[in-house]
Amino acid sequence: MATTPTDGKPDAEGALSIDLPVDTPAVSSAESPERPTAGVTPGDASDAPLEDDAVVTHKRGVRVLRDGRVLRWWVEALTVLGFYTVYTLIRHSSEGSTAEAYKHAMSLIDLEKSLHIFHEQQLQEWALNFRPLIIAMNYFYGSLHFIVTAGVIVFLFRKHPEHYPRWRNIFALCTAGALIGFVTWPLMPPRLLPTEWGFVDTLAKYPTFWTFNSGTMSKVSNQYAAMPSLHFAWSSWCMFASVPFLKTTRARLLMMSYPLWTLTAIVLTGNHYFLDAAGGAVLFIAAFVIGTLWSRWWAKHSPTVTAHGPSAADQIAD
């Protein structure tokens, strides 16, 4: 508030005029009349920030990126499904021999013993005392591996399309790298070791959606595709691809714990050794580095199209 001081001086007609303090409201910027901002109309769509400064339109699931690339949901869906189909066919048709897989398992167990980390059997034996835990790990192993991964892919495409191509490429590199490991180094998982090792195939013994020993799965599944652990590589991908974009602390903490829960599931169900998870972590790091370098190279050498310009708009015109 601005205050008018008291004068106590005669006015023009000779009368003594005493001015009492008068409060005059100060005009704040919030209360001042609205002044139009150049190029912006109140309530105009331009007031709302574009996600990642990349999206020109959401029309029919289309995303246009700053470099002019157009992402269409159905093309991306077919690409991911096609890639995974090829991966599955190669994986299931390249199962190594039982003798070779067992030999590799013995070598890996010897290495774990030398590192003092061969405790998978003791952990599973403890967990078998808690039937609900084992059943929960069975469902976790058999379902969330696909559900969470697919959810993160959709989340990135819909909400953060500018980052989607990079993380899609890292995902593809992870999957292809695991395939190389499966084909070149078949490994017998703990659940398939001879009974004297003390491991239990929990997917076969306890309720779950499916088991590797079922008629169809036993024929088409590569039983020795264990090194590296694609479960752990994908869970690491899910965490790093999603956490920077999650808005709540609870969601971030939940996603950050996902690889740990995945490690717990793959060990307690007898499907992997600890070193399989380490191999999955190395695989993810390699895919991350290569995918990031490729994205930077592409950003540097690809022609740039202004996302709000007519060139980008033309690509999504009817």
3-state class (DSSP) for residue 116:
coil
Q: Where are the chain's structural domains? A: 91-299
Reported confidence tier of residue 309, pLDDT bands at 50, 70, 90:
very low
Query: What is d(CA 287, CA 233) in angstroms, rounded to the nearest whole number?
Result: 10
Reported confidence tier of residue 77, pLDDT bands at 50, 70, 90:
confident
Reported confidence tier of residue 59, pLDDT bands at 50, 70, 90:
low
Q: What share of the chain in percent tops pLDDT 70?
A: 71
* Residues 252-286 pLDDT 10s: 999 999 999 999 999 999 999 999 999 999 999 99
- Calculate mean pLDDT across residues 96-107: 94
Q: What's residue 218's pLDDT?
A: 54
Residue 42, pLDDT above cutoff 60? no
Q: Which 8-state DSSP code applies to residue 40? A: B
- Annotate 95-119 with b (16+ C-beta within 10 A) or e (fewer): bbeeeebbebbeebbeebeeeeebe
Structure tokens at 118: 């061969």
Q: What's residue 224's pLDDT?
A: 94
> How far does CA 277 lie from the centroid of its chain?
18
The residue behind tokens 């380490």 is 278
3-state class (DSSP) for residue 5:
coil
Query: What is d(CA 235, CA 257) in angstroms, rounded to the nearest whole number?
Result: 10
Q: What pTM did the predictor assign?
A: 0.75
Question: Helix, strand, coil: what percent of the chain each, to 5?
Answer: 60, 5, 35
Query: What is d(CA 67, CA 294) in angstroms, rounded to the nearest whole number?
Result: 15
Secondary structure E strands in 168-230: none
Query: What is d(CA 65, CA 305) in angstroms, rounded to the nearest whole number?
Result: 8
Structure tokens at 23: 């409060």
Contact yes or no for 105/193 (Cβ under 8 A): yes
Mean pLDDT over the full length of the chain: 79
Which residues are bridge partners to 64 per DSSP?
70
Q: What's residue 290's pLDDT?
A: 97
* Residues 249-258 pLDDT 10s: 999 999 999 9
